[in-house]
Amino acid sequence: MKNRHPLLVFACVLFLALFASRSWGSTRVLTAPGHPVFLVMEEDAGIVTQAFFRTPGNIQPISEVIGLSFSAEASTASMADRDSRPDLLWKLSFLDPRNRSEGMVLWISALTRQPRAILGTSPIGETLWDAIRPRLSVPRGTLLYVSPILPAFFTVPQFQGKDVLSYVYCVTLGETGPVIGVLPDVYRQLLRVVQTVRVSESDPGKKRAYEALEKDFGSVAEGGKPSTEAILNFDFKKISEISWRP
């Protein structure tokens, strides 16, 4: 069965691509190397008009990305379900063509011990991290997710927007899908950026919020857990789970 998966994926991609080329104007096929799952999208002027997620056991429409424009993708592998085969964490970013400072992440997880895919979404938005773009060293098995909103720490109001340093999550793969990972080394790197921005911030409200953010990142950098406010701010919505035979 292991040798059949690549052939199955190739055959499905070829079939859908040929079918799509006859009935759709523009088709994009996104594949995940080493895993028999892929996303087929019909696009009109760069905007998704139809989308289908394909596994060995099912084809499922993905309505959540319709009306958006595909922007970027990133993937990583880890041994999440404790068998000998790597599991997939795949992050697909889509932007609103009417306001490209907003959009959505489509998370796709593929587990191998009991083969299944878990799909979910999270909002994204332009923040100060987009302007700073720090070079971060992130270990295999982890993808970064920048929340569009800074958590409401205690009595500090929530802030969001392109001039706001929001919360950054290290997302790893668990047996139930994407989860918040505690990676002290990554948060030590993020902490230095927050400290620099906090010192130069003149707005009293934002300064208090950055002080709370610095405290939160500092705790995780020492091996602690994110605050309750940060956990509640992690906006992941599960939309589907699909299983198939090995």
48 close to 24: Cβ distance less than 8 angstroms: no
* Main-chain dihedrals φ then ψ at residue 208, nearest 5 degrees: -65, -40
194-232: buried (b, 16+ CB within 10 Å) or exposed (e) per residue?
beebbeebeeeebbbbbbbbbebbebbbeeeebbebbee
Encoded amino acid at 195, one letter = Q
pLDDT at position 25 is 62
Is 80 exceeded by the pLDDT of residue 5? no
Residue 111, token pair as written in the block:
């587990």
Phi-psi sector, 182: left (phi>0), alpha (psi -120 to 50), beta? beta
Token duo for residue 90: 């795949």
Mean pLDDT calculated for residue range 151-157:
84
Q: Which residue has the higher pLDDT, 100 or 18?
A: 100
Cβ neighbours of residue 231 closer than 8 Å, sequence gap 6 or more = 180, 225
- What confidence tens digit (pLDDT) does each residue in 183-232 have? 999 999 999 999 999 999 999 999 999 999 999 999 999 999 999 999 99
pTM for this prediction = 0.88
User: Which of 120, 119, 126 has the alpha carbon at shortest distance from 101?
Assistant: 126
Structural contact between residues 89 and 32, judged by C-beta atoms closer than 8 angstroms: no
